[in-house]
Amino acid sequence: MSNSDYLPDYPLNSDLVKRLKSALDAKDEERVGDLICTEVTPVDAVIELANDDWMKDPSAQLPPGMLLGLWTLEYKRELTTPLCIAAAHGHAACVRYLLGRGADPDASPGGRGALHEACLGGHTACARLLLQHRADPDLLSAEGLAPLHLCRTVASLGCAQALLEHGASVQRVGGKGRDTPLHVAAQRGLDEHARLYLDRGAYVDARNGCGETALSVACGAARRPDEHGRCLRLCALLLRHGAEADARDEDERSPLHKACGHASHSLARLLLRHGADAGALDYGGASPLARVLQTAACALQAAPQRTVQALFNHGSPTVWPDAFPKVLKTCASAPAVLEVLFNSYPQLCVSESWKELIPEEVFQMHKPFYQSLFALAHTPRCLQHLCRCALRRLFGKRCFDLIPLLPLPKPLQNYVLLEPQGVLH
């Protein structure tokens, strides 16, 4: 039955719904519990909390998009049940009371059941009560999502454990993206969820609708700074369980492409240590190096030069010399990136015309570096640099592993590994 087929027992304009919405808005848990447990009948009554059917109100102000193209007679409204409300807000006592009165744990007039709501809110006690009353652990929502797909927060780990204990499928794909629960955990950086799913037999390299593995999804998700640690642990966990470090999605992008797109140097190094190809090309012909260079100016806080350095120390080809001016223009505000890149060439002809590519305020902000760059316009690189290039050419993709084994002082090892110094010689 579709959402529009239900006739609500308590429509939007009813007195009870008005009082219920007021209590929900005020976060008055006691009042919400009292309303749904003592005033709503029958126990599985359908409650209408919202309705955007503009055809019922000809004077309604319509969004501009509604006036363009073909109209549809469908509209959205929010239908729910007392059990769904109680589960969504973590009212375990209400959930127990309603189930005791015979409430259907799988009723879903709004497209999601009470178990979905409990998992979305991370309410483990409610989820366990529903499962104990035979709620379907694999019930699909209107969007094709099982409750495990809605375990999207750290707080939902207990819900995920309860679902698996009651037979939920860890391999189930859902939604338009055809994601598994492991994909969801990877997207959200939930390392403990991922560990739980892998321990329950989740296939580490399962593909979603875009051909992505969980590792690919994890590397492509944008992260807040406080989430980077969890993401790194999650990716390390996936790799320990045999995830393919170089798995390509439908656009031939590898996890390394995606990590470099966020200038995540710690993640890039992890992938490179597990055999990711530093020179891989996607369908558009872009390499991981190209991806980090494209984002460098917008990701200065992420120290993008570290990602560029890691790529070169694992065998990434450098930029075609004729394309260096274009990179100079794009990355002018990231001189450390330009320094690492410039030092990847034994010799690169510097042109005075390049000065026109650098905004004056950027030039003044990083004056020592740019002065050292243009001082090389008519001067060959120093012998030390040429020796560095000879060593790097000899070691190739193994620079990162072999250079630290050389009997050289640490500062000289760092120099050979392209550690930025702030100026060019």
User: In the prediction, which pLDDT does 224 show?
Assistant: 74
User: In the prediction, which pLDDT does 5 show?
Assistant: 59
Per-residue pLDDT of the chain (425 residues; tens, 9 = 90+): 445 556 889 998 899 999 999 998 888 888 998 999 999 999 999 999 886 544 444 444 545 544 444 444 445 678 999 999 999 999 999 999 999 999 999 999 989 999 999 999 999 999 999 999 999 999 999 999 999 999 999 999 999 999 999 999 999 999 999 999 999 999 999 999 999 999 999 999 999 999 999 999 999 987 777 778 889 999 999 999 999 999 999 999 999 999 999 999 999 999 999 999 999 999 999 999 999 999 999 999 999 999 999 999 999 999 999 999 999 999 999 999 999 999 999 999 999 999 999 999 999 999 999 999 999 998 999 999 999 999 999 999 999 999 999 999 999 999 999 999 999 99
- pTM exceeding the 0.75 threshold for the entire prediction: yes
φ, ψ (nearest 5 deg) of residue 174: -155, 160
HEC string for 12-81? CCCHHHHHHHHHHHCCCHHHHHHHHHHCCCCCCCCEEEEECCHHHCCCCCCCHHHHCCCCCCCCCEEEEC
User: In the prediction, which pLDDT does 180 show?
Assistant: 98
Q: Residue 143: which of 176, 120, 118 has the closest Cα?
A: 176
- CA 99 to each of CA 164, 392, 423: distance values in angstroms, whole numbers, following the listed order: 21, 69, 71
Tokens of 352: 């005075």
* CB-facing half-sphere around the CA of 95: CA atoms within 13 A: 28
- CA 387 to each of CA 86, 98, 257: distance values in angstroms, whole numbers, following the listed order: 71, 78, 31
Cα distance between residue 377 and residue 415, in whole Å: 22
CATH class of 1-54+76-168: mainly alpha
Domain extents for the chain?
A: 1-54+76-168, 277-425
